[in-house]
Structure 1
Amino acid sequence: MHIGVNRFPLDANGSFGETCVISELDKADINIAFGDVAAVTALAGSNKADNKRNGARWIASSSCLGAMSHLGTDKGESYLHVLSVADIDGGAGVASAELAPGKERAIAEATLVNAMQDAGKLGEMPSLVWLIVAPGNEEEVLNGLHGVLGDSVPIFGGSSADNSIEGKWVQFDGKELHHNGIVVAVLYMSEPVSCYFSSGYEPTELSAQVTAGEGRKIYTLDGEPAGTVYNRWLNLLEQAPLQPGNILQASTYFPISRNQGAMSLGVPLLSHPARLNDDGSIELFASLEVGEQITLMSGQPDNLIRRATEVTEVVLQTHELNYECRPRAIIIVFCGGCMLAVKDHLDEIQRSLLVLAQDVPFIVGFTFGEQGCFSDGISRHGNLMISATAIG
């Protein structure tokens, strides 16, 4: 298996230009890519315009304010960061679809089956499933994938992002550009894969039960309006109360965790409060169930700055311990909300990753939702999370 990472700049015309060597990536079994909306859209346009392209497999997602790799960070310019994998001994497959309300689970099941067929491995369990999905119904998408895979295959990836939460995110599979879609890649490899899914937050002693809610909206906690309880918690932590409206930025350092099986294993699964409504309800970027116990979490800038390196260090150590080798590449998914909170430190984060990874190439996408597998074998959707996947 051969892995390489490339970084392609957009020119003044919003294209990759005549000197771009993206066409050389057609030789890869699969290309995993992150870039801002302009970069991924330009990639789709270049594929469509070039009749010589052979329909290479891509799983590309728009990333908040660009992306990052060992080759650099995006500072107001558009780049496409691409991790290309060639000569996979078991093969790879990709499929995509546009999502439709109420049909997310069925569409996810069908898309996964199509990806297996694309790999020529229908009915065989892959080593890894890489997922890119539009924000909104990630839990149903994961339920669909689990319906085919069970809990035997790790599912990692992220929800597409744009620069200002306008819903302009895109997903690309090498042929079709989606705005509310799902792209699924299945990798069949004999070479090792190691994954880690975590967050940079600590639990407080403040907890409550969800007593009324629906999907991604919670109405009451312990019988009181959710906003009243959340603001009381913030007051106890000497934070200003929040007014109705968008609270994404204000709540970035104070998400809530779901005390599921994931929490009992020592890793909290986070939900990011997005909006406080006039009726006291709170909308989130992840679903909660009535009866679930939730805990207020607390984060600090220093923790978020260090977290990418810490999570990558864990996956490197795990890989070397289990397989006695260094991986050939690392894919990091970093929550866009966390990135925005520490965006002035992106160069520092990239330098720390370079020191740690040494000669191992890596790419980083900044997402509006993260999917990953916990040590109980179940892959889940969360917010303000970070994952690292080591391959080869």
Structure 2
Amino acid sequence: MKIATAFSVLDDTEKACCEVIEQLTQDASCPPNFIVCYYSAKHQYLQIANKLQFAFLSIPIIACSSCQGVMTADGFHSESGAGLTLWAIWDDYGHYGTGLECIDNITDDASVYQACQSALQQALAGAGRLGELPELIWLHASPGFETQMIAALEEMVGDQVPIAGGSAADQYILGDWSLFNQTAVTTQGVAVAALFPGGEIGYSFHSGYVASRALGTVTASHHRTIEMIDHRPAAEVYLEAIDEPTSDFSYPHSILEKGAFHPIGRIAGQLDQFPIFKLAHPSAVDSNAGLELFADVQCGELLYLMEGSRQSLIHRGGRVTQLSLTDPFSHQEPIGALVIYCAGCMLAVHDDVDAVVASIRRSLGEKLPFAGAFTFGEQGHFMTGKNGHGNLMCSAVVFYQRELL
């Protein structure tokens, strides 16, 4: 088994593709078994898809746009917002497949369920393992209905198969995200990979924030907007809690940066009597003093105000990847990793993003290859044993060398 990565910061999409393809194949005696591709939305995604589909005929690929750059063990890659990376695994004992579906009506639960389950069926068929439970489902989707997508996948495989990944992103939250695999492309849909690796995997999903106080209970909400908390306008409750003056506050109003350091938490379970939180990133106050988020919140949920510092966000990636190395099989040799880091956190600490990548590199080991994207929503498997979707989080999967008997 072997994992390798390649990257380019060339602004020209065709030249960037040629560079990463050459890097990935120059020392390889045979094609890889599975490829993951991340690219900043500044690139022409159709051109990337065409180049990779032609260069790696019949090899399963899953690809997702990233916010303003990508990362590998060599650093944060973004030249004027352009970055492209490939991650590949050579695994003679593993089986990999991908599936992709467009979703015409993303607001219709039935359409979302059908698309997700069809994509997973494609992935399982591509891996040659129909009817079996994968070791991991790697998920990328256009933002908006990831909670329903996880539920759709769990309807097929149960809730004990780990689901990890991240939601497609663009440069400035304008909807310019995209996805593709080895056969199709979409700007609104879902892409999944079914992984049956020849070795073990370790995974972790964490926020790195701490709860400071209870905010109250959601008494009115609509999809990704909290309208009322304890029967008060949600924005008023939130802004008071973060000591933000409301007297001169104009509605609607963006609070994206403030929300990155003060997200909303909900208890996702407990571990050793300590609560595990999943986060929602407040993005804006609407004209009715509602609180817009990047995740679903339901009426009746108890909300907590979470806090994070600049330093905690910088070092959080390293802590999460370190947790992926502490599984029961951690005595085995790790060979590489995939890392998802929230775009909101990256933008909040943008001047120190190189330190974020350095923290991940130190935790994995200076020579261990990894690749990652900056996403508009993160999916992962909590330490409580449940899959979930959250914001301002980090998800990591570490691959281990197959043990020879």
1:200-236 Cα offsets, whole Å, 9 max, x none, are: 211012320001112212111011111111122122x
Counterparts of 1:261 and 1:17, CA distance in 2: 43
Partner of 2:10: 10
Query: Residue 40 of structure 1: CA displacement?
Result: 6.5
Contact 2:136 2:163 in 1 (8 A): yes
Partner of 2:403: none
1:345-384 Cα offsets, whole Å, 9 max, x none, are: 1122223333332221111210000000112322110000
Contact 2:9 2:78 in 1 (8 A): no
Change (3 A) 1:323 1:202: closer
Counterparts of 2:310 and 2:83, CA distance in 1: 26
SS of corresponding position for 2:329: helix
Partner of 2:49: 44
Change (3 A) 1:40 1:156: farther
Partner of 2:336: 329
Amino acid at match of 1:46: K
Partner of 2:392: 384
Counterparts of 1:225 and 1:335, CA distance in 2: 28
2:195 counterpart (187, 194, 204): 187
Change (3 A) 1:380 1:232: same
Contact 1:157 1:372 in 2 (8 A): yes
Partner of 2:96: 92
Deviates more, 1:267-276 or 1:79-88: 79-88
Query: Residue 39 of structure 1: CA displacement?
Result: 4.1
Change (3 A) 1:173 1:354: same
Partner of 1:342: 349
Report whether the alignment pairs 1:352 with 2:359: yes
Partner of 2:63: 60
Query: Residue 262 of structure 1: CA displacement?
Result: 5.8
TM-score, with structure 1 as normaliser: 0.92
Report whether the alignment pairs 1:294 with 2:303: yes
SS of corresponding position for 2:334: coil
Change (3 A) 1:11 1:257: closer
Aligned pair count reads 385
Change (3 A) 1:271 1:369: same
Query: Residue 285 of structure 1: CA displacement?
Result: 0.7
Contact 1:32 1:58 in 2 (8 A): yes
Q: Unpaired runs of 5+ in structure 1?
A: none
Aligned-CA RMSD value: 2.1
1:175-218 Cα offsets, whole Å, 9 max, x none, are: 22211121100011241111110012110123200011122121
1:224 counterpart (220, 225, 232): 232
Counterparts of 1:335 and 1:66, CA distance in 2: 12
Equivalence map 1:1-392=2 (5 Å): 1-10=1-10, 12=12, 14-16=14-16, 20-21=21-22, 24=25, 27-39=31-43, 41=45, 42-47=47-52, 50=54, 53-77=56-80, 78-101=82-105, 102=108, 103-235=111-243, 239-241=244-246, 243-244=250-251, 245-261=253-269, 266-316=275-325, 318-319=326-327, 322-356=329-363, 357-392=365-400
TM-score, with structure 2 as normaliser: 0.89
Q: Unpaired runs of 5+ in structure 2?
A: 401-405
Contact 1:127 1:153 in 2 (8 A): yes
Change (3 A) 1:326 1:285: same
Counterparts of 2:24 and 2:312, CA distance in 1: 40
Amino acid at match of 1:45: N
Contact 1:262 1:374 in 2 (8 A): no
Change (3 A) 1:299 1:23: closer
Contact 1:47 1:175 in 2 (8 A): no
Contact 2:205 2:383 in 1 (8 A): no
Deviates more, 1:86-95 or 1:261-270: 261-270
Query: Residue 23 of structure 1: CA displacement?
Result: 8.0
Contact 1:199 1:267 in 2 (8 A): no
SS of corresponding position for 1:16: helix
Change (3 A) 1:329 1:121: same
Counterparts of 2:334 and 2:43, CA distance in 1: 28
Change (3 A) 1:98 1:305: same
Contact 2:212 2:306 in 1 (8 A): yes
Counterparts of 1:361 and 1:115, CA distance in 2: 25
Amino acid at match of 1:73: F
